[in-house]
Amino acid sequence: MPELSVAPLSLYVHLPWCKAKCPYCDFNSYAATEFPAARYVDALIADLERELPRVWGRQVHSIFFGGGTPSLFPPAELDRLLSAIRARLRLAPQVEISLEANPGAVDAAAFQGFYDAGINRLSLGVQSFDDGFLQALGRIHDARAAHLAIEALQKAGFDNWNLDLIFALPAQDLAAAQRDVQAALAHQPPHLSLYQLTLEPGTPFASQIPAQLPDADSAAEMEENLRNALADAGLQRYEVSAHARAGRQCRHNRNYWLYGDYLGIGAGAHGKITLAGQGIWRSRKAPRPESYMEAALKAKDSLGEGQWVPPAERPFEFFLNALRLLEGFDEQLFEERTGVSFLLVEARLRRALQDGLLQREGRHWRPTPLGLNWLNQLCRQFLPETGKTQSRPIASAS
């Protein structure tokens, strides 16, 4: 068996509250008009303290505040949290620190406060620039608020930021989807994440499907047209949903997709840590904020649950992530990050090569356009023989 190498390390911080729960959202988030921000930050710091023995001395290359709506937190509390993180972890000199924000849950003063606290990348959940579509999605902002938020974050000093857009919305046609992308491009974003609306199990949209959803052919036409427009504007697609200008790829997400390590703190946060000579440890914190805070502040030994990832499950996890990247992966990286011999997966990769889902250049493999379109089917080929995996697939941030 190849030796399992320690992967680059990131930190994910989950801030679970939002003003309203969107009907398409299946994230661990909770609607609230008020929440205990200071107490929650205390719990996060206590959580981090418990995790330190697993990552002691390792350098952190990126930090991501996800949610929920992290921009609801007072900048002073995030400043306090970042100070605590800096005092406990060794941060890379040019560490990327990202924060998710929504136009309806932030103002110009808050943007300036986040920037002054040391956050250097923002991800703005615009989703659409059309008031009708925003209302259909259950968003709390309108198009004007979205434009103002973009102007405010730039004025605060942010030059590294992302816009989230969703297409194939109820009653949306190609022309309307094009208008959304053109409205985004008018602001010249360094990074843009483009997602098709999906009906996630357990959400209101799944139980009561919106009327006039575009059919599969219409959605595919939209996607091809919109991605071409982004490429023409200098935003190159580098992952299934992510487009960026040169030098603006999201380093935090790239670490996920290359099967790197990440420490997860916060209610419902997931973590993956490689421990030399032991294996890969996956963890998940208690999902409910109150239960999480109570456990963290009462110094309980465990804030959630965890398990070792068996070698048989690591190839599926690796490919579930690495094959999202247009650049693909190297055979040596596979062995270093999984501790599994490449020979054990080569036959299945060759079948995918013959099926036109993958292409190969020497020891480097990458998905074809067909492989990207059929990514779920491609990844299923690497499930353990039982057809089951105990570790939850990674959901990327933006």
DSSP 261-318: EEEEEETT-EEEEEETTTEEEEEEE-SSHHHHHHHHHTT-S-SEEEEE--GGGHHHHH
- Please determine, for residue 397, whether its predicted confidence score (pLDDT) is greater than 90: no
* Topology given in CATH for the domain delimited by 311-389: Arc Repressor Mutant, subunit A (1.10.10)
Give the side-chain half-sphere CA count within 13 A for 303.
Answer: 32
Give CA–CA dist 285/312, Å, rounded: 24
Using 50, 70 and 90 to split pLDDT, how confident is the model at 1?
A: confident
What fold does the segment set 9-255 form as a domain? TIM Barrel (3.20.20)
Q: What is the mean pLDDT of residues 300-327?
A: 92
Confidence band (pLDDT; 50, 70, 90) for 378? very high
pLDDT above 90 as % of the chain: 91
Q: Is the pLDDT of residue 387 over 70?
A: no
Tell me: cis bond preceding 68? Omega within 30 of 0 counts.
yes
Buried/exposed code over 151-162 (b: 16+ C-beta within 10 A; e: otherwise) = ebbeebebebbb
Measured in degrees and rounded to the nearest 5, phi and psi for residue 99 equal -135, 130
Q: Is the pLDDT of residue 389 over 80?
A: no
pLDDT of residue 277: 85
Q: Supply the pLDDT for residue 302.
A: 67
Where do the domains of the chain lie? 9-255, 311-389
Q: Look at residue 299 in the predicted model and tell me its pLDDT.
A: 73
Phi, psi dihedral angles at 311 (to 5 degrees): -55, -35
Strand 30-31 with 17-18, pairing: parallel
pLDDT at 34 over 90: yes
Bridge-partner residues for 264, per DSSP? Answer: 12
Res 100: pLDDT = 98
Domains 9-255 and 311-389 share a fold: no
pTM of the model as a whole: 0.95
pLDDT tens column, 240-288: 999 999 999 999 999 999 999 999 999 999 999 999 889 999 999 999 9
Q: Which residue type does 185 have?
A: L
* Sheet containing 329-330, strands listed edge to edge, beginning at the edge strand earlier in sequence: 329-330, 364-367, 358-361
For the chain, percent of residues with pLDDT exceeding 70: 96
pLDDT at residue 390 greater than cutoff 70: no
- Matching residue, tokens 């929440």: 35
Question: What is the chain's mean pLDDT, rounded?
Answer: 94
Report residue 195: phi and psi, to 5°: -120, 145
* 73, 157, 198, 215 from 70: Cα distances, Å: 6, 19, 23, 34
